[in-house]
Structure 1
Amino acid sequence: MSLLDKRVAYKPFEYPKAQEFIDAIHQTFWIHSEVNFDADIQQFKTNLSDHERDVIGNILKTFAQTETNVQDDFWGVIGQFIPKPEIKAMAITFAENEARHASAYARLNELLDLDNFEAFLEDETAMERLEMLSQVTVDAQGNAKPEDLLQSIAIFSCFTENVNLFSQFAILLSFKKFKNQLKGIGNIIKWSAKDENSHARAGMWLYNSMIAEYPELNTEELQNRIYEAAKISHDVEVRLLTGIFENGEFDFLPINHLVHFMRDRLNKSLSEIGLKPTFEVDKEVLKEMQWFDEEVFGLAHDDFFAVRPTEYTKKTQSVTADDLF
């Protein structure tokens, strides 16, 4: 049986790797109520410049809706087209994960009083094209062509999950890294980035598994569409970063660093699904962004008074210094 052949029996699993991705999300399960944001609120309102508040506020306003779209448009529906219980379970787990992300960002918006901030406008024409490329086309019976499904999995996993938002993650996390501020927000971002990385790896694995089973689908036309989506994603991200910093970049995080960071993620995504990297990356500039992977994927050294470390046992309450002393 292949990925597209329906299996009713729950076990034995044909694709046990899916359970590994589920376990990864379960083992790092988090909810925003674990984090005490009191210090973040104070710093946001009194310590940051107007420009810094504008950048942070406008980014956070985009996040809740973005996560909701991801939940609804891909992970919430992919199980319809790959009828394996373990794949459906993985997709449901990721959809729930995205819902928790959206809830966390919405809570941050409330705590920081971001009603007066506007989400950054994206290039509508480019985004429409990208959405068209990543959308699964179905017939009147709700069935999808394998080649359309494969294209959707590739573009969504490689670019929506593994690239989009990551430069903005880096901007928000940089306040914790370079200014020792916004630690609660920084940890939410770190956890979210780790989750998104798991989603991306799972999607790429799904794509590679399908290519292995249906090698005839790995056509030049498919590859060209993926390359086109990569180019669109790149251009949208560059324009977005330009808009974010239209009033000036941060001295501790130049736009150039973020652009090469984003290009590197695009190249790695393409390589992961057997395609050639196409974006020029300055390795010396990229070294300036090593801190991001160290913060997100390195050993935990979180401020215990702001939040429990990722590897720490799950809690149902937020922790502050006053709770311990």
Structure 2
Amino acid sequence: MLNELSTTYKPLRYPQAEEFRLQSEDIHWIVKEVEMTKDLEDFKAASEEEKEFIKNILSIFTQSDFNVANNYLPLIQEIKNNEVRGMLTSFMAREFIHQEGYAHLNESLGFPDSYYTDFLKHQETLEKNSYMATTKHKSFGLKLAKGILLEGVSLFGSFVMLKNYERLGKYLGTCTINEWSLRDESLHVMGNAWLFRTWCKENPQEVNDDFKKAIYEMAREITKLEQNFIDFAMESYTPPKLNRQDVKNYIEHIADRRLLQLGLKPNFNRIVNPLPWMDELNNGSSLANFFEKRVTDYSVAGMTGKFTY
């Protein structure tokens, strides 16, 4: 059981957790690997509207990863199994690398330290941050579900808007950090979704209608906040090859994918990916491969049935 204290390293009760931890360590990266000289040249040559667009994204991105890291703390404290704690700790450590990575982007582009609180000036980013930073749930399962949705949905508007520059041949250092972070987050979501399904199997008494309803409500709220942020970021500037409504629809698509990973049915019915180039640029990443999975691969006992929430 997840809440039983491990007294020795082996035998492993949850070898899958150790596999996720090892994958996390295998794809470890550091900020010094990324060259940002060309990004600074691109930024200096950009229009004022494009500069503001990039600033609006980066102002909340570092803070979002800060919040994601903090969401791991109560989860790690509640888990007593050694290898599962190891998986969560590895995932949390990567979030510090992400913070450093996006801070590196900010500093390479010449933004001052005061810039890290600029998100507080705008309603859309303030509301997004407030929701990410707080939780009302006491259930481990609901706290874990919220963390999965935050990591697997709340970051993806920014991922798309920055990743689009790779198609334009601009900000390639930024795109590299973005790609590596996306790869990490996709692994974290898969590992945490596995943990969620395992927890549900071990705690069937908690998987009731109220539990499922709370997850659907979180998914809808997180999706709405991310779509509001997209509207804010793209209010005065739309990059070439990017359509605001397509990005917002993509967030619904991603939210449905996360619900499927949790063993629930989709809420938005955005099964078809409105931005297929995201998968193409990821070169068959784990995220892209997940989209090829059958829905039944992610259904678990206690989480199947007809849901109308």
- For the aligned pair, the TM-score class normalised by the smaller chain equals 0.7 to 0.9
RMSD: 2.0
In the TM superposition, residue 251 of structure 1 has moved relative to its aligned partner by 3.8
In the TM superposition, residue 127 of structure 1 has moved relative to its aligned partner by 6.0
Q: Point out the structure with the larger helix share.
A: 2
Q: CA separation in 1, counterparts of 2:176 and 2:258? A: 25
Number of the residue aligned with 1:29: 28
In the TM superposition, residue 219 of structure 1 has moved relative to its aligned partner by 0.4
Structure 2 spans left out of the alignment, 5+ residues: 286-309
1:13 maps to 2:35: no
What do residues 70-129 of structure 1 show as CA deviations (whole Å, max 9, x unaligned)? 212x22332210101111111111111010111111111111012386335436567656
Number of the residue aligned with 1:93: 90
Q: CA separation in 2, counterparts of 1:262 and 1:154? A: 17
Q: CA separation in 2, counterparts of 1:111 and 1:95? A: 25
1:61 and 1:114 in contact (8 A); partners too:
no
Number of the residue aligned with 1:291: 277
SS across alignment from 2:124? coil
1:163 maps to 2:153: yes
2:235 corresponds to which of 221, 227, 246 = 246
In the TM superposition, residue 269 of structure 1 has moved relative to its aligned partner by 0.8
Q: CA separation in 2, counterparts of 1:247 and 1:155? A: 31
1:126 and 1:232 in contact (8 A); partners too:
no
Matches within 5 A, 1:206-225: 206-225=195-214
Q: How many residues align?
A: 280
Matches within 5 A, 1:168-183: 168-177=158-167, 179-183=168-172
2:256 and 2:271 in contact (8 A); partners too:
no
Q: CA separation in 1, counterparts of 2:127 and 2:26? A: 39
- Taking a change above 3 Å as real, the CA distance of residues 3 and 240 of structure 1, as seen in their structure-2 partners, is same
**Could you state the TM-score of these two structures normalised by the residue count of structure 1?**
0.81
Structure 1 spans left out of the alignment, 5+ residues: 138-147, 300-325
1:265 corresponds to which of 244, 250, 254 = 254
- Taking a change above 3 Å as real, the CA distance of residues 257 and 162 of structure 1, as seen in their structure-2 partners, is same
- Taking a change above 3 Å as real, the CA distance of residues 184 and 127 of structure 1, as seen in their structure-2 partners, is closer
Identity %: 27
1:268 and 1:277 in contact (8 A); partners too:
yes
1:207 and 1:273 in contact (8 A); partners too:
yes
- Structure exhibiting the larger radius of gyration computed from Cα positions: 1
2:253 and 2:271 in contact (8 A); partners too:
no
Number of the residue aligned with 2:57: 59
1:149 maps to 2:140: yes
What do residues 257-299 of structure 1 show as CA deviations (whole Å, max 9, x unaligned)? 111111111001111112111114384xx34x11112222437
Q: CA separation in 2, counterparts of 1:205 and 1:280? A: 23
- Taking a change above 3 Å as real, the CA distance of residues 30 and 75 of structure 1, as seen in their structure-2 partners, is same
